[in-house]
Structure 1
Amino acid sequence: MTTRIDPVTAPYPDYARDRLERLSLPDGKPLVLFATLATDQRLFERFFGGGLLDRGHLTLRQREIVIDRVTARCGSEYEWGVHVGVFAQKAGLTREQITSTISGDPEDSCWSEEESCLLRLCDRIDAGCTLSETDWRDGLAFFTPHALCEILMLCGYYRTVSYLTNGLDLPLEAWGARFSQYP
């Protein structure tokens, strides 16, 4: 494994042990991203302070569509692959929908009207770092104002995660999905 910062290995630092052990995924190891951030207590704790993987204003499916779209647009095969590998089935995403998050269009026939709106919002936020008044009104047809705020936050947070995974040159998780699996 080559990365720009070597991840921690067991035994983990006290401040990270519980979280790394609790969040270990399919192979029983913590994600390389988490183990890398655990090399610095401040960065590790701040990173986890901003997460939005709890029950919020969006369903699991909506949340995963946002995360998959944003990370794919940012070219973060690492984070996209983690989320597809862990959550796509739970969120009920089809192979066609997963492919569409990488290279598709919000108007692809595999999406409902609400999901097409969600993807358009993600694309607009990614392209312009904001939502126009029209985008906001269109979003209100399907989402509450707080859900729209959560969409903005998810887009920003996972853009940051994409910066980290790409900038740290993290190796892909062995069990994670790959862009090439969804041509």
Structure 2
Amino acid sequence: MRNVVVHMGLSLDGFFEGPDRDISWHKVDEELHQHFNEELATRSAFLEGRVTYELMEEYWPGADQDPDNPAVMQEFAGIWRTVPKIVFSRTLQEVGPNATLRAEVDPDEIRALKQQPGGDMTVGGVDLVETFRRLDLVDEYRLYVMPVVIGRGRRLFESADTPTDLDLLEERRFGNGVVMLRYAVRR
């Protein structure tokens, strides 16, 4: 059985992005990026909203062709191309290689995907994360708390209106001060 995992960087005050989609404050150094590569290379699918997909697709497919990029970034370019993607969008008409398009989240389809063998699936994009949370499709949260307070932007759980009980499975501190908190949804 595969889990749906939210994999998200946050400021200490709960924002995943600042004004104008700014994420320059994310503290992703070589150690943290290598951790991301190790985690994400095992995924059986990236489940993404349109905005996240377009941002990732704009940069990562060819990032390993730039000799100035560090080895960990070049490695992630290959991971990005290899891992299948399901993109949820009502406006996109087509997606790139190794990606399929869905107009909306079908909870039965996601539950069927979860029953298949293989690695966990990562859901990305705050609106899509909220949809998955509301439909009780999220199994785990891997939140990377950055050692910064940004004061304003978009919060990860800004539209959550009901409590979700969680069990702490793991915590890990990285050399740059980032702390990963891994929670399972209690059912």
| TM-score of the pair, normalised by structure 2 | 0.30
Specify which structure has the higher proportion of strand.
2
| TM-score of the pair, normalised by structure 1 | 0.30
